[in-house]
Amino acid sequence: MNRLGYLGPEGSYSYIAAKLYDDSSELVAKSDFYDVFDGVENGELNYAILPIENSTEGAVTLVMDALLKTKKSTIVGEITITVKHLLLGVGDRIEDIKYILSHSQALQQCRQFLKDNYPHIQLINCSSSSEACFIAKEKGKEYGAIANRQAGELNKLNVILSELQDNEFNQTRFIVIGNEKAKPTGNDKTSIAFSLRDDSPGSLFKVLEIFAKNEINLTRIESRPAKAEMGKYVFYIDLLGHVMEHKVSEVLGMIEKYISYLKVFGSYAIGEIK
Ligand SMILES: O=C(O)C(=O)C[C@]1(C(=O)O)C=C[C@@H](O)C=C1
């Protein structure tokens, strides 16, 4: 049986995404995103699921940065889920809550709502939304956890508030990484990262122009600091097509003269939205 890693414990949003992606694998909980990556890199896991972007908060930067460091694993799939946050606790009165715990991403997705309605409540980051439930249960009625219904049921917590997220269309896209490349399906996406060779007018434009002229549709563009001097970036692009398609491999060859670094994270079937 395949082993699929995720940010645990059971009941996290990553757990929900993992079950929706593939409920035939053995799910293996890890305590942070680095351990999730390591599990695939060292062969303990066949593959793993990680959040990469959220429609309210944008990029999950830790995962974006860690992708640059992988040696063996590639992106083999994706899935997008709708994320609806609840406030859960052992009690049922919001008046008793002094602290709210969750993963930083989940707290950020509810930031405006919490600031507008409960500015006196202290927000505390923890390793995942399901870990937040576990801690809230231990600590008692002054502690609430932002998490989903399943995490609440697993930890026997009450729903104190629902629909906390600032954006009613709050969705998180997860990538699946694995050690075997995904074959073309005819409906694929490729994720890459690159750095520009030189900082001159139009250097990014020249790369983007190649995609445009060759009719390669881009579905995402992001940048992250190169972690060198100020003003140096790594650009991340998702494009439609598979690297085994001639058109895609040709374009990746054509951009080479404008870039100093290229990493192809993988080509994979365009995922469902659940
Ligand atoms: O804390 C969790 O439950 C997670 O799976 C992490 C995570 C994330 O980092 O984006 C996953 C989905 C939601 O966007 C909120 C939190």
Q: What is the pLDDT of residue 198?
A: 86
Name the catalytic one among 172, 194, 211, 235. 172
Give the range among 37-46, 122-131, 191-200, 235-244 with minimum mean pLDDT: 191-200
What whole-number percentage of the chain has pLDDT above 70?
100
Q: 73: Cβ below 6 Å to ligand 1?
A: no
Q: Is the pLDDT of residue 184 over 90?
A: yes
State which of 88, 111, 128 you would mutate to test the pocket of ligand 1, scoring each by most atoms of that ligand within 8 A of its C-beta.
128
- Say if the ipTM goes beyond 0.85: yes
Bridge partners, residue 84, by sequence: none
Q: What is the pLDDT of residue 228?
A: 85
Token pair, residue 199, equals 């900082």
Q: Is the pLDDT of residue 248 over 90?
A: yes
Give the chain's domains with CATH numbers: 3-83+170-178 (3.40.190.10), 86-161 (3.40.190.10), 188-269 (3.30.70.260)
Q: Is the pLDDT of residue 199 over 90?
A: no
Q: What is the pLDDT of residue 200?
A: 84
Q: 13: Cβ below 6 Å to ligand 1?
A: yes
How far is the C-alpha of 15 from the C-alpha of 50, rounded, in Å? 10
Token pair, residue 170, equals 């709050």
Token pair, residue 73, equals 């694993």
State which of 57, 79, 172 you would mutate to test the pocket of ligand 1, scoring each by most atoms of that ligand within 8 A of its C-beta.
172
- Residue 219 annotated as catalytic: no
pLDDT in tens, 62-86: 999 999 999 999 999 999 999 999 9
Name the catalytic one among 174, 211, 235, 265. 174
pLDDT in tens, 206-231: 999 999 999 999 999 999 999 888 88
Q: What is the pLDDT of residue 67?
A: 98
Q: 81: Cβ below 6 Å to ligand 1?
A: no
The C-alpha angle with vertex 39 and arms to 15 and 237, in degrees rounded to 5, equals 75
Q: What is the pLDDT of residue 231?
A: 83
Q: What is the pLDDT of residue 130?
A: 98
How far is the C-alpha of 147 from the C-alpha of 86, rounded, in Å? 6
Indicate the pLDDT class of residue 36, thresholds 50, 70 and 90.
very high
Q: How far does residue 54's CA lie from ligand 1's centre (Å)?
A: 9
Q: How far does residue 87's CA lie from ligand 1's centre (Å)?
A: 15
Q: What is the pLDDT of residue 142?
A: 98
Q: 267: Cβ below 6 Å to ligand 1?
A: no
Indicate the pLDDT class of residue 245, thresholds 50, 70 and 90.
very high
How far is the C-alpha of 22 from the C-alpha of 226, rounded, in Å? 34
Q: Is the pLDDT of residue 233 over 90?
A: yes
- Residue 37 annotated as catalytic: no
Half-sphere exposure of 6 (CA within 13 A, CB side): 29
Q: What is the pLDDT of residue 97?
A: 98
Q: 33: Cβ below 6 Å to ligand 1?
A: no
Q: What is the pLDDT of residue 256?
A: 96
Q: How far does residue 258's CA lie from ligand 1's centre (Å)?
A: 36
Q: How far does residue 13's CA lie from ligand 1's centre (Å)?
A: 5
Q: What is the pLDDT of residue 96?
A: 98
Q: How far does residue 104's CA lie from ligand 1's centre (Å)?
A: 8
